[in-house]
Amino acid sequence: MAIIEWKKDGTVAVMTMNTGENRHNPDFNRVILEIFDEIEADEETSSVVITSNDQKNWSLGIDVEWIMGAMGRGEMEAVKGFTYGLGKIFTRILEFPMPVIAAMNGHAFGDGTIMACACDFRFMKADRGYFCFPEVDINIPFLPSMIAIIRKAIPSYKLYELVCTGKRATAKELEESHVIVKACPDAGALFADAIAFARTFTKGRWIFGENKRRFHRHIIEIIEREDPAFIENPAQWK
Over the stretch 88-104, which tens digit does the pLDDT of each residue have? 999 999 999 999 999 99
- Average pLDDT of the chain, as a whole number: 94
Over the stretch 127-170, which tens digit does the pLDDT of each residue have? 989 999 988 667 678 899 999 999 999 999 999 999 989 999 99
11 and 46 in contact (C-beta within 8 Å)? Answer: yes
User: Would the CA dihedral through 101, 186, 60, 229 be positive or negative?
Assistant: positive
pLDDT at 28 over 60: yes
Over the stretch 51-67, which tens digit does the pLDDT of each residue have? 999 989 999 999 999 99
Residue-wise burial string across 182-198, b where 16 or more C-beta atoms lie within 10 A, e elsewhere: bbbeebebbbebbbebb
101/127 Cα distance (integer angstroms): 20
Q: Which pLDDT score is estimated for 238?
A: 55
pLDDT at 37 over 80: yes
Q: Which pLDDT score is estimated for 1?
A: 79
Q: How far is CA 124 from CA 58, 88, 145, 169, in A?
A: 10, 25, 24, 11
In this prediction the pTM is 0.95
In the chain, what are the domains? 4-198 (3.90.226.10)
Over the stretch 170-205, which tens digit does the pLDDT of each residue have? 999 999 999 999 999 999 999 999 999 999 998 889
41/25 Cα distance (integer angstroms): 25
> 181 in helix, strand or coil?
coil
Task: Count CB atoms within 10 A of the CB of residue 123.
Answer: 28
